[in-house]
Structure 1
Amino acid sequence: MILQYKILWLDANSSDPMSSFRAKLGDVQTFTDVNDCIQYIQSHPNEPIYLIISGSFAKEVVPVIYEYSNLVQIFLFCGTVSAYSEWGMDYCDKMMMFDHGDDLLERLWNDLQNKLQEHATLCLKRADEYKQRALQYKKSCG
């Protein structure tokens, strides 16, 4: 089974096809409605989710969803990080703040690469264990 991470973007402008940030994100699920986004996260408890959220929605949404175990990371994308820094201290172990899209994307892609690399390493280790088991039977059969 392939490990799939879902990227969600909650922003009033996330559905704008002309957005350069949207184009750089690629295949993500966008939300412009807070309740639709929260409902999606709640209804997919076994799906690891990365959430990109605009500053305008953060203070309303983050306290509601913060404890969900399927939420891997929250990326707060805002105009000024300092405007959210004091409030964000309560969520710093699962939320990072960015005021530049490229910095956010670099961190997102690096984090996903690391998670997938860890998973691949575990899969390769398990495959090697099965190979060793198979070789034991090959030896005993002559």
Structure 2
Amino acid sequence: MLQYNILWLDANSSDPMSNFRSKLGDAQTFTDVKNCIQYVQSHPNESFYLIVSGSLAKEIVPVIYESSNLLQIFLFCGSVSTYVEWAMDYYDKIMIFDHGDDLLERLWNDLQNKLREQATLCLQGAEEYKKRAEEYKQRALQYKKPCG
């Protein structure tokens, strides 16, 4: 089963009094770009979403952008217009937000959709195995018929 991890890279991410931190909940937090890059590279089988402050985005995004386990980058900044032109090179994986609630709404919706897709595939697989089991049950019943 796939797991989706949330990474938050921000100088203030370790602040337990952060309002955004309390809303975000269970996320791996980083205050250092190198530690975050190391985490991404050392966990190639984990899919993740990255929330990154504008001040650190230009350092980390070019390094991890091509990572196959990177699902989406949420750039969280004070001014969207400051990063729009720079972010065009990463347009297929980056979204820019200047309000935490908007970012979290989009993140929760993306996670919901990913998990629903995964659940649908699991249910389809379960139905396939159920059909196979029924076929073997029918064959077993045919062999158990009395001779006569």
- Shorter chain as denominator, the TM-score bin is over 0.9
Alignment partner of 2:16: what SS?
coil
What's the counterpart of residue 102 of structure 1? 101
Q: CA RMSD in A?
A: 0.5
- Looking at structure 1, the residues matched to 57 and 139 of structure 2 have their Cα atoms a distance apart, in angstroms, of 62
Superposition TM-score, scaled by structure 1 size: 0.98
What's the counterpart of residue 7 of structure 1? 6
The amino acid of 1:120's aligned partner reads: A
Spell out, residue by residue over 1:84-142, the C-alpha distance to the aligned partner (whole angstroms, 9 max, x if none): 00000000100110000000000000000000000000000000000000000111111
The amino acid of 2:12's aligned partner reads: N
- Looking at structure 1, the residues matched to 121 and 42 of structure 2 have their Cα atoms a distance apart, in angstroms, of 28
Spell out, residue by residue over 1:58-95, the C-alpha distance to the aligned partner (whole angstroms, 9 max, x if none): 11110111000001110000000000000000001001
The amino acid of 2:7's aligned partner reads: L
What's the counterpart of residue 35 of structure 2? 36
Could you list the runs of 4 or more consecutive aligned residues of structure 1 that deviate by over 3 angstroms after TM superposition?
Answer: none
Alignment partner of 2:81: what SS?
helix
In percent, how many aligned pairs have the same letter? 76
Spell out, residue by residue over 1:27-61, the C-alpha distance to the aligned partner (whole angstroms, 9 max, x if none): 10100011000000010011001000000001111
What's the counterpart of residue 26 of structure 2? 27
Alignment partner of 2:127: what SS?
helix
1:133 equivalent in alignment to 2:142: no
CA-CA distance at 1:4 after TM superposition: 1.0
The amino acid of 2:98's aligned partner reads: D
The higher radius of gyration belongs to: 2
Aligned residues: 141
Superposition TM-score, scaled by structure 2 size: 0.94
Unaligned 5+ runs, structure 1: none
Mapped contact 2:2–2:46 kept (Cα < 8 A): no
Unaligned 5+ runs, structure 2: 142-148
